[in-house]
Amino acid sequence: MNKQQKAWAFYDWANSVYSLVIATAVFPLYYEWIAPDTVAMPSWFPEGWTMISSSALYSFVLSFSFLTVAVLLPILGGLSDNLKKKKIFMKIFLSLGSLSCMGMFFFVEEYLWLGLLLIYTASIGFWSSLVFYNAYLPEIAEKKDQDRVSARGFSLGYLGSSILLLACLAIILSQPSDEGKKMAFRFSFVLVGIWWMGFSQFTLRKLPADVGGGKRLKGNTFQLAYNRLKITYFELKKIPFSQRYILAYFLFSVGVQTIILIASLYGSQELMLESGQLIGTILLIQIIGIGGATFFGWLSGKWGNIPSLMLSVAIWVGVCVGAFVLRPEDPIVLYKFYALAALVGWVMGGTQSLSRSTFSKLLPPQEEHTAYFSFMEVAEKVAIVTGTALFGVLAQCSGGMRYGALTLSIFFILSLIVLQSLKKPFRKIMAEEYKSQV
């Protein structure tokens, strides 16, 4: 890897602390601790919705942030490509996310809505910055190197976020009183923002400001962005089997992202595990994810992208079935849950890194790629909303979460069917690409 590729991958080290410490581990624990059981909603809300559980409100805020990103990013992607200002947009959104994390220091019992507002803006900043970040991959690495560079990024992300999570937990657990622990939680949020903002400066210094060249078009900026969005959509239709790949990506993202978001909740509510055991599970997933991302990056060089991705998706089916058969009365359920978590960590790194690099290989060279990746991000955000909503409905109807976990396996199976149809054409286009470079 050259210096620019290392700097690009290092942004995963910088930003992954949000997804682990804020979105997955520390912030949800703090929120559950200080939030009331129910929250009074504004008077203009419909009858029956004037009081809502704090956990449901938290879920709705996150869903709304994903919907916001899904609406904004196609336009922002086109705007970025037209203005040739990818790095500027990346700076704006990573600053929004990291400053929101720092602002969570002021989230206390009296300011519940401030905490919800900040988790909303932090989520938008995180997911939006990734679009502009991912769009650099096809421009800083050749197709033969993109799997390895993408895997390096995820490995660094898992390692860095695990280090900061351990530090935050050490600070929190060292406090003898509840008030001290609350202050430690709030201090942890500041550490996340500083880590994210600080380490991202290395990436921003090394990445080129205007990759792709071309002249800036004249005219109304947002109209040009909308026109660029339409052009990108039709260009995407011309790229061989790109629509089928996005469909497959949507299908397995429904399962992957939902499992990541509800794994801790599943362990606590369905299997009656304690919070300390769940934190240990999260760390296990992160650490093993380092090896998983590296392994699947290596495997793609041996098998090819689509077969390697299919293997990871097939393992996710086993994860869903395994979660369904676990029972809280099993005397060794904790160890089985750890084994399942290890499997999740192994395939999570591979699925996420390969899905990014596989799409990157489909894109035409020497073009701005932000708008293309914005379509991928929209598919992922819609998948998150679809998966979490479906899981919630099934949990409500069945009185538990086990059937929701089993149902997610259907999305993985459908994704496998679509990916199977892509094996030969993807291998062919990669062979042609190789010949053109020789």
Instruction: Answer yes or no: is 211 within a domain.
Output: no
Specify the pLDDT at position 396: 64
250: CATH: 1.20.1250.20
Instruction: Answer yes or no: is 222 within a domain.
Output: no
pLDDT tens digits, residue range 152-211? 898 899 899 999 999 998 999 899 999 999 999 999 999 999 999 999 999 999 887 654
Instruction: Answer yes or no: is 244 within a domain.
Output: yes
Q: Which domain holds residue 121?
A: 3-205+227-437
Share of the chain above pLDDT 90, in %: 37
Instruction: Answer yes or no: is 219 within a domain.
Output: no
- Domain count of the fold of the chain: 1
Specify the pLDDT at position 179: 93
3-state SS, the chain, equals: CCHHHHHHHHHHHHHHHHHHHHHHHHHHHHHHHHCCCEEECCCCCCCCCCEEEHHHHHHHHHHHHHHHHHHHHHHHHHHHHHHCCHHHHHHHHHHHHHHHHHHHHHCCHHHHHHHHHHHHHHHHHHHHHHHHHHCCHHHHCCHHHHHHHHHHHHHHHHHHHHHHHHHHHHHHHCCCCHHHHHHHHHHHHHHHHHHHHHHHHHHHHHCCCCCCCCCCCCCCHHHHHHHHHHHHHHHHHHCCCHHHHHHHHHHHHHHHHHHHHHHHHHHHHCCCCCHHHHHHHHHHHHHHHHHHHHHHHHHHHHHCHHHHHHHHHHHHHHHHHHHHHCCCCCCCHHHHHHHHHHHHHHHHHHHHHHHHHHHHHHCCCCCCCHHHHHHHHHHHHHHHHHHHHHHHHHHHHHCCCHHHHHHHHHHHHHHHHHHHCCHHHHHHHHHHHHHHHC
Instruction: Answer yes or no: is 216 within a domain.
Output: no
Low-confidence residues in the chain, pLDDT < 50: 211-215, 438
Instruction: Answer yes or no: is 213 within a domain.
Output: no
* Global model pTM greater than 0.85: no
Instruction: Answer yes or no: is 25 within a domain.
Output: yes
- Please, how many CA atoms are within 13 Å of residue 131, restricted to the half-sphere of its CB? 35
Specify the pLDDT at position 17: 95
Specify the pLDDT at position 291: 86
Instruction: Answer yes or no: is 16 within a domain.
Output: yes
pLDDT tens digits, residue range 288-341? 888 888 898 889 888 988 999 999 999 999 999 999 999 989 999 999 999 999
Specify the pLDDT at position 218: 56
